Homo-oligomer: A and B are copies of this chain.
Amino acid sequence: MTGEDEDSDGREGTGEREAFDAVTAAVGERIAPDAAERERMREAVETLRGRAEDAIADLPVAADVVQVGSTARGTWIAGDRDIDLFVRFPADLERDRLESYGLEVGHAVLPEGREEFAEHPYVTGEHDGFDVDLVPCYRLDSATEIQSAVDRTPFHTEYLAERLDDELAGEVRLFKQFLKGVGAYGSDLRTRGFSGYLTELLVLEHGGFRETVAAAADWQPPVRFDPEDHGIAEFDDQLVLIDPTDPERNVAAVLSADNVARLQHYARDLLESPREELFFLDPTEPLSAEAVREHVQRRGTTPVAVRFNAPDVVEDQLYPQLRKSLSGVRDELDRRGFDPLRTAAFADESAVLLVELEVPERPRVERHEGPPVAVRPHATGFFEKYADDEDAYGPFVDGDRYVVEREREFVAAREFLESEALLDVALGVRVASALKHDYDVLVGEEIATLAGEFGTELAAYFDPRP
């Protein structure tokens, strides 16, 4: 009886807790950087920092170097090889001087490096097997004064450095690995998952990995955390975590509802049946063209795909544009009666907007409701417009209105997709240019030809998991 009472109180049986701990211990072992990796990391950072400080000494302004990101906070997963060094310049330095000094230091630190552009230009390159970014930013008194998002990063690292000890860092690694395993890790705009910073703050908030997943399993979104109890804004998001360094910012702003739900699903699964494979879910096996055809036949649906050359922009620009375009095409197909069942967008060399339809064709006639007959001028105008239309049935009276059955513009979804009307839907700007240039339309089993480039994406589509 005692044991049962404990269960019904929500406390787990000893056996279940032991199984969970055994799994996390084994996973922790696999993902913790070992002493040699830590030492190599430390040496690399030391060398790069020394080079940066030497280069700064030659500049006409003062600056310092801070290491940021997970490798600075000890929360990186074994094998990750990202080193992020920020060079902080005085807040009153003009922006173009900050940029030129930043690049000067960058090239001194990474002689083989190349310039990239995010909020500022910066230098990225390799050193001793590590991927290094050397990024200029402003040194400010508070994260609320920032001029660009990169200025905020050092505050995050500082906040966490004071609060994450080695043990909590291990808990963060477990949570990161778990989110990677279930596909919800990464704040890039393709994934719209959990950022490293969000992961760290959630573990800090709950005190450990197990406590975090146990809480997540029971979340009733919208869920709000405010570690510093200083939030001053309202957010619509499912999960809100007020940035401890900036009361106006939701750290989880980019996180999708899907990824919140996904975490909740797998958190329950892990608590119910602790097992290592949830942290290392097998990569999806690509589908063959034949397997795609079999799915299409089995489902009895009509997938339609618009395929074009992927616009040459970074993923964080590409995916929002693909999503906007997909939703524009989907909504128009819906409006025209082709009943979309599910959608997906893929990108590699090509980009694909895939809409799976329940209804690929409609009748030649479509119902078109006119005004109530009582609304005299409007009703008379409607009647006269269609009275002599040879292709229309009616106008007739249905209830209190005039109705005609007129000729439908596009009987088949393919006709619409192959017409210029496709370009009238809401599209991402670079997608619109790409479509204006050229595109293919694939219908039904024809989408099997996508298996060569997008076999993995099609596998995820046709064998969806939570």
Contacts and interface: CB of A to CB of B under 8 A. Distances in A.
A394 B262 CA distance: 13
A84 B276 CA distance: 91
A365 B341 contact: yes
A372 B299 contact: no
Indicate how many identical chains form the complex: 2
Contacts of A394: 464
Nearest to A398: B258
A40 B372 CA distance: 46
Nearest to A217: B376
Contact of A300 (B219, B258, B339, B363): B363
Nearest to A465: B396
A114 interface: no
Contacts of A464: 393-394, 396
Contact of A365 (B261, B301, B463): B301
Contact of A396 (B367, B396, B466): B466
A372 B260 CA distance: 11
A299 B405 contact: yes
B411 A300 contact: yes
Contacts of A363: 299-302, 341, 358
Contacts of A300: 362-365, 411
Interface in A349-395: 358-359, 362-365, 367, 372-374, 376, 380, 383, 393-395
B264 A373 contact: yes
Contacts of A380: 268
A466 B393 CA distance: 11
Contacts of A205: none
Interface in A244-267: 257-258, 260-262, 264-265
Nearest to A341: B367
A421 to B, nearest CB: 20
Interface in A261-279: 261-262, 264-265, 268
Nearest to A261: B373
Given A362-B359, A380-B268, A374 B299 contact: no
B362 A358 contact: yes
A402 interface: yes
Interface in A328-343: 337, 339, 341-342
Interface in A133-180: none
A397 interface: yes
Contacts of A420: none
Nearest to A362: B358
A238 interface: yes
A283 interface: no
A373 B265 CA distance: 7
Nearest to A466: B397
A415 interface: no
A268 B376 contact: yes
A374 B364 CA distance: 44
A236 interface: no
Nearest to A399: B257
Contacts of A284: none
Given A300-B364, A300-B411, 19 more contacts: A221-B372, A258-B400, A261-B397, A261-B402, A268-B376, A298-B364, A299-B363, A299-B365, A300-B362, A302-B363, A341-B363, A341-B367, A341-B405, A358-B362, A359-B359, A393-B462, A395-B466, A396-B464, A396-B466
